[in-house]
Structure 1
Amino acid sequence: MTMIGPENADQARLLRLLRDDGPRSRVELLDVLGLPRARFGAEVDRLAAQDLVETAGPAASRGGRRSSLLRIAGRVRFGAVAVGEGRLEVALTDGELTIINRYAEPVDVRLGPEAVVGRAVELLAKLQAEAGLARLTGVGVALPAPVAVREGNPVSSPALPGWHQFPVRGTIAAELGCPVQVDNDANVMALGEHHAGTGRAFDDFLYVKLGSAIGCGLVHGGALYRGASSGAGDVAHLQVSEDGPLCGCGQTGCLEAYCGNAALVRQAVTAARAGRSTALGDRLAESGTLTIDDVAAAATGGDPTAQTMVRAAARRLGQVLVSLVSFVNPAIVIIGGAPLGIRPVLLAEIRGVVYRRSTPLATDSMPIVLSDLDDRAALVGAARLISDQVFAAR
C-alpha cells in the first residue's frame, strides 16, 4: 500500500486547517502557520504533488496583488462505515468531511463479522466506483462495541456477538488498499460533533450516545481522550444498583440494563402483558413484538406507563452524568441517539437531575443539549477519525 500524507508537522497543520475551515487564501495560511514564504510555497508544492491540495481560484483582495485560495484536492475522498442497531451505513465524503453520497440498509450483526464487514466493503467499493476513484484516501469505521484502537479489532461486547478480536481494520484495508481506522461509535460520534456539530465550539465536552449500546465520548483539550487502553468512556456497564436487572454483559444493575433500548422494550412488553398500558398492549397484539419506536410513540401519545418508563431511565442516566460532570467538568454535554419522540422528556429529566445534584462550579454555565447531527454524527466522525490519521505527519 503506497502511503500518502504530510511529511512534516507544518504540512499536517496546513491540511487540517483546510479540512476544518475550508478553502483559505495563501496569505491567511502564511499568517496562521508563521512560515517563511519560500518554505510555505515548497510545502504546498509537495502536497500538491501528492494530490492532497489544489488551487481553488483567486481569494478576495486585501489590497495589492491578489492571493489564491487553497483547498483540499478533489481526489481526496474518505469512506465512512457505521454499524448500528440493525443498520449498516456507508458514506463517501470529500476532504472537508462533507458527505457526498451514502447507502444504508438493514443488517443483522449476529450473522458475524465476515458477512457484515464483507458487505461494508462491497458498498464502499460501489461508492468508489461511482465516484470514478482509483482508490479511497482512507476509511473510518464506527462499531457499537469497545475497540482496541491500536489493533483495529472489537473487544468482547454483547452488542456484537461473535466479533471478538475480528480484524476489522486489516480486512477492509486488505480489500480496498487504503488506510483504515476503527473505534467505538461513541468516540466516533464525539469526533463528528467536534467537527460539524454543536461540539465544534468547545474543546472540552462529553458526548453521550444512547441506544441499545450506551457509550460516552470525551473530548478534552480539543482532542478525543481514549485512556491508556482505549477504554475511556465505557459507561454502559457502570453499576447503578446492586440488585438491578441482569445485563447482557452478565452483571446486574448496569446502566445499560436500565436505560438501553433493549431494556426499555423489555419493560414495555412486561407492562403490555400485565395490562398496565393500553397503547403498548394494542401494539403488541397487532405486531407480536415491540420496538423502541413503539415505546417512543406511546410516550409521545400521552401513555402514562411509557412516560414513566422513559423518565425513570432518564433519571438513572442523569445520576451517572452527575458523577461524570463533577469529575470531568466539561463545557457542555451533548446527547445523541435518543428516539425522536421521547427526546424532550428525556432531556428535561436529565437536566433536572444533573442541575439539581451537581455542584454549581461544575454546572453553572454548562448546557445539556441534544445533538443536531442525528445520524450524520457517526459518518462524519468516521471520516474525521481516518482523516486524523492520514493528515498526521509521517
Structure 2
Amino acid sequence: MADERIDTVVWGTGNVGRAAIRAVAAHPALRLTAVITSSAAKVGRDAGALADVGRDLGVALTDDRDATLAAGPGALVYAASGDLRPDDAVADIARALAAGAVVVTPSVYALYDHRSAPAAVRDPIVAATEEGGSALFVSGIDPGWGNDVLPLLMTGLGSVVEQVRAQEIFDYSTYDQPDAVRHLVGMGQPMDEVPPMVAPTVPSMVWGGQVRLIARGMGVELDEVREEVERRALDETVTNVMGTFAAGTQGALRFEVQGIVDGEVRIVIEHVTRIHPSAAPDWPRPPAGADGAHRVVVEGRPRIEVTVEATDEGGNRAAGGNATAVGRLVNAIPWLRAAPAGLYDALEVPLLPATGRF
C-alpha cells in the first residue's frame, strides 16, 4: 500500500521550530521530509537530535530553501520569526504557497484575522494560494487557541456574559530569548524608552485580530479596539539565564487590547509579563509554583475561570506554551490539505482531536 502521509517541511529551528519538528514527527498523517535552518552551524544535524525527539529522524537540517521547495512538499510549518522581518516572512510564506504547499504559521500577526489584514499583506498571499492551489492558516504562538477558540468555548457554557478576558501571565526568568525579551518587550531597558511591542497601535495590530475573531464568534459588532499599557521598573538588580537586568529599568509589562461593544469593555486580550517574580507583585500571577499560565475569565452568570498550564522540554512552561500553539497548527494540516485553496482563520479551522496517537 502506498504511503499516503503528507510530506511536511519545518522552516525554522528555534523554540517554535523544535516544537514543530516534534509535532510533525508524532503525527500519523504527516511525514517530516526536511527542516530548513538559517544557521550554518546546524546544517547536517539530524532533526531528531535538535528537537530532542529521543531518536534520530533521518532528516538532516538544510539551508537550501530552493531545493526543499522544488521537491514539492505537501505542507510547510513556517516557524521562522516574523517579529523583526515581517516582509521577509510574508515573502517566504507566499513562495511556499505558490509552490503548492499548505502553510501553517504563527509568524504574521496581521493574518490572525485575515479579513482585516492590510491589502499589502493579504493580496500577495491570496495570489500565492490561487497560484499553488494551496491554503494558509495563521494562529498565534501566545498561544492562539488561548485567545480565540478557548474563550469562545467558555462563553458557550454560561447564561449571561458580561465580559470575556484571555490572559497570558508569564515570568521570563527561564525564557532564553534575549532579543525578543530585551528589545521587543523592553525588559532591562530604560523606562523612558517605549518598547516596540507596546508602541502605539502595535498591540492592536498584533492582537486586535483575535479580539475581532471573538467578537465575530459571539455575533457582536465592535465600536472600536483600544489599548492600555502599564510598565513597572525593577526595585533591585536581578540576574537570570539572559543575563543582568538593572534596578530602575523595566521589569514588568502589562497591556490590554480591548474590544468595545456599545461603549463597554467586553472583550480583552491581556498580557502580564515579568523578568523576575518580585516585579509588580500586585499584578495577576500564575498558579503557585508556576512561571506561566494562560487563563480565560468569563464574567457573568455563572462566572467561569479556566487556567491552562503546559510544560515541555524538561518542565519548561514557555516550551509548553509553544508546543500547544504548534500542535494547533500542525494538527490542522490534513484538514487544510482537503480544504479549498484560500486563507483560513481560527473560527474556520476545527480544533481536531489527536486521532491515532496512543
TM-score bracket, normalised by the shorter chain, equals 0.3 to 0.5
Relative to the length of structure 1, the TM-score reads 0.37
Relative to the length of structure 2, the TM-score reads 0.39
Higher relative contact order (CA 8 A, sep 6+): 2
Bigger Rg, structure 1 or 2: 1
Greater share of helix: 1
